[in-house]
Structure 1
Amino acid sequence: MHDSLFASAPAGAITDVPGIEAGHFTDTRRPTGCSVVIAREGAVAGVDVRGAAPGTRETDLLAPGNLVNEVHAIVLAGGSAWGLDAATGAVRWLEEHGVGLDVGVARLPLVPAAVLFDLPVGDARIRPDAAAGYAACAAAATGQPLAEGNVGAGAGAVVGKMFGLQHAMKGGIGTACVRVAGVTVGALVACNAVGDVVDPETGRPLAGARTAAGDALRGTRRALLRGEPPHPLLAGSNTTIGVIATDARLTKVQAQRLAVSGHDGLARSINPVHTMSDGDTLFALATGRADQHPGMMVLATMAAEAVAHATVRAVRAARSLQLPGGLSLPACTDLRRAG
């Protein structure tokens, strides 16, 4: 079975967007971590939450009708709600480096965040904290190429849990960018979906729920439609979170619409997506560095494409994981795909 043209397309990175830095912290004590996307000079921001079980911080301030227009970083983290503490460390790092909203007596960094549930992967008592968020910012400042796969917020990510964790596969974090008419749109996506990650060009599963024998993909959509019952799922135990960034100049309303459009990319690359057990959340950042503006129709198309690319990269870059107790999470490259 040959790969689609989509699968071999250049990936790029969210850091290709002028004004954007990104970095990871990966906890070596168990597979978990956090990732940060930084806009030191501030970026107009928006957010769209589609999953029914989100874990977020500071998303209300991004509503178009609310006062604050720009933020300075976005944090993505494992550790479920505990992982939101990573944003506190990012705030501290940014303040130390003079980044933030000038409120007269200080510079106040504004850092929204979203988390995914990776607690079953290793010791749940180990999760990203403020020190982890601080370290991710320090890593971003080095300017090193952005790693993908089993790092940062994707370190403990798992996909394809519809029929139980024992049939799932390793998820991860991926990045991509798209350029059109002098404007760049990039995405960073940590994929911990309950559904399968699929090739957007063919709809064929790349990673997800495996068959009972464990050596091939089951194809979650087809399995559900032929009547196979899903495994009981804990609400919020699955989530895909990410950041879209562009150098186009956007209003706050337009940034929110860009985040909305990014979910089209998730819908093309994850099936099923936006379920009652997922907390799917996408942020959008606009640095305004580009002189050109191709229009919102083109930007929305670019955002969906970048998100879909980044989601596929998240599983293609992932590597297998063997956990204590015998649980094995193979990677995309380990299995033949369902037809």
Structure 2
Amino acid sequence: MRAMSAGSITDVAGLLCGHFTDTRRPTGCTVVIAPEGAVGGVDVRGAAPGTRETDLLSPLNSVDVVHAVMLAGGSAFGLDASAGAMCWLEERGIGVQAGPVRVPIVASAILFDLMMGDPSIRPDAAAGYAACVAAGTDAPAEGSVGAGTGAACGKLFGIERGMKSGIGCASITLHGVTVAAMVAVNATGDVVDPSTGRIVAGVRSDDGRTIVGGARAILDGQLPRHLQIAAATTLGIVATDAALTKLDANRLARIAHDGLARSIVPVHTPVDGDTVFALATGKANASLPPTVMGVLAVEVTARAVLRAVQAATPVSGAGVPSLPCARDLPL
């Protein structure tokens, strides 16, 4: 039985996905909802993370179910989007029973997009609620939407030499088990196609016409200027319909970072807060060995990164840097 590639995060049975894209400036949020709950895990890399409920996902802690994962722009302010998801889930009676109420478990992480227009505009509870209203089982849009609206990559030598990025998905189904990923790429580093080594989007030359690559420029003797702390961050969700324990889910989130390392150079820098969540719905009537699951998780994560930049489209507005997309520059 051959693997079938391409697809989206909603190819995993038991998951919904929705975006909210702010029309006032390039920012937004994206939610993945597990209405019946999913076993969750997380792995945080880089030195500038912004997260919520990640401690709860540790195998050492009691609650092993997640009802939603929210990815948002707006830096730390964007964590407010989780409150909207909490409200939407509570209205539908979804959550962990805690005395007289059900408490929805919403894990979240944010990326820094405050250089894209008016920084006082950022995802809030209303934005998070709107993303939930929009959520469904259809394949979500990719590119400059939701949490990827204000995303950029190749910022090692400043955002003005970077390129527009976005959010992307991929999935693989093998022997009755689906593994999928969704990644919002807002990286300091360049995005590289692992199959060819070619830089798809990244640091551009001084005249902005060609891609030179940050790591390549450093090896040629150039040094980047001082980078702003928390000025980037790539966020991902890797999901499966296989049944996993909480420990297994955390291991899957950990190994999925290898997919980021294959497709983003450099990755996990001091100015990135790269975070990957894992969700397991247990809907499949099949299972795969952990090593095989890891191989699939790495592959779909790398593919989702590529799709995030390939699907990106230009954004504009007052104070928004003019950044080209991968489709705009010659190979």
Smaller-chain TM-score range? over 0.9
| One-letter amino acid of the counterpart of residue 298, structure 1 | V
Q: 2:203 aligns with which of 171, 187, 209?
A: 209
Shift of 1:102: 1.9
Equivalent AA in structure 2 for residue 82 of structure 1: F
Conserved in 1, the CA contact under 8 Å of 2:154 and 2:161?
Answer: yes
The normalised TM-score by structure 1 is 0.95
Instruction: Write the distance in 1 (CA, Å) between the matches of 2:321 and 2:66.
Output: 40
Shift of 1:176: 0.8
Establish whether residue 316 from structure 1 lines up as the match of residue 283 from structure 2: no
Relative to structure 2, which stretch is displaced further, 102-111 or 302-311?
102-111
> Do the aligned partners of 2:5 and 2:172 also contact (CA within 8 Å) in 1?
no
Q: What SS does the aligned partner of 2:18 have? A: strand
Which digits, 9 at most, give the CA deviation of each residue in 1:122-154, with x for residues without a partner?
10000000000000011004x443000010000
Q: Is the 8 A contact 2:115 2:320 kept in 1?
A: no
Q: Which residue of 2 aligns with 1:178?
A: 172
Question: Secondary structure, in 3 states, of the residue corresponding to 2:173?
Answer: strand
What is the CA distance between 1:336 and its match in structure 2? 1.5
Q: How far, CA to CA, are the matches of 2:182 and 2:21 in structure 1?
A: 16
RMSD: 1.2
Mapped to 1, the partners of 2:135 and 2:321 lie a distance apart of: 33
Contact 1:190 1:242 in 2 (8 A): yes
> Take 1:231 and 1:284, find their aligned partners in 2: how far apart are those partners?
35
CA drift at 1:308: 0.5
Find the aligned partners of 2:278 and 2:255 in 1 and give their Cα distance: 10
Q: Deviations over 1:43-102 (max 9, x none)?
A: 110000011110000100001111111110000000000000000000000111121112
What SS does the corresponding residue of 1:229 show, helix, strand or coil? coil
Q: Is the 1:240–1:281 Cα contact (8 Å) retained in structure 2? A: yes
* 1:326–1:178 distance in 2 versus 1, CA, 3 Å: closer
- 2:72/2:147 contact within 8 Å kept: yes
User: 3-state DSSP class of the match of 1:192?
Assistant: coil
Q: Take 2:319 and 2:69, find their aligned partners in 1: how far apart are those partners?
A: 35
2:110 match: 115
Deviation per CA, 1:296-322: give whole Å up to 9, x if none. Answer: 000011111111111100000001234
- Native 8 Å contact 1:159 1:207 kept in 2: yes
Q: Which runs of 4+ in 1 moved over 4 A?
A: none
Retained in 2: the 8 A contact 1:48–1:283? yes
Aligned partners of 1:10, 1:156: CA distance in 2, in Å? 28
2:215 matched to which residue of 1?
221
Aligned to 2:155: 161
Whether 1:102 and 2:97 are equivalent positions in the alignment is yes
The alpha carbon displacement at 1:219 in A equals 1.6
Partner of 1:190 in structure 2?
184
TM-score in terms of structure 2 length: 0.97
1:1-339 paired onto structure 2 within 5 Å: 10-141=5-136, 143-324=137-318, 327-337=321-331
Partner of 1:4: none
Residue 74 of structure 1 aligns to a residue in which SS?
Answer: strand
**Conservation of the 8 A alpha-carbon contact between 1:11 and 1:310:** no
1:321–1:330 Cα contact (<8 Å) kept: no
Query: Separation in 2 of the partners of 1:96 and 1:11?
Result: 34
Identity %: 59
Secondary structure of the residue aligned to 1:224 is helix
Q: CA deviation at 1:165?
A: 1.4
Residues 72, 79 of structure 2: 8 Å contact kept: yes
Unaligned residue ranges in structure 2 (runs of 5+): none
Deviates more, 1:207-216 or 1:314-323: 314-323
In 2, the alpha carbon distance for the partners of 1:29 and 1:172 equals 17
Give, as a single letter, the amino acid of the residue that structure 2 aligns with 1:267.
Answer: A
Cα distance in 2 for partners of 1:138, 1:258 equals 29
Amino acid in the other structure paired with 2:278: A
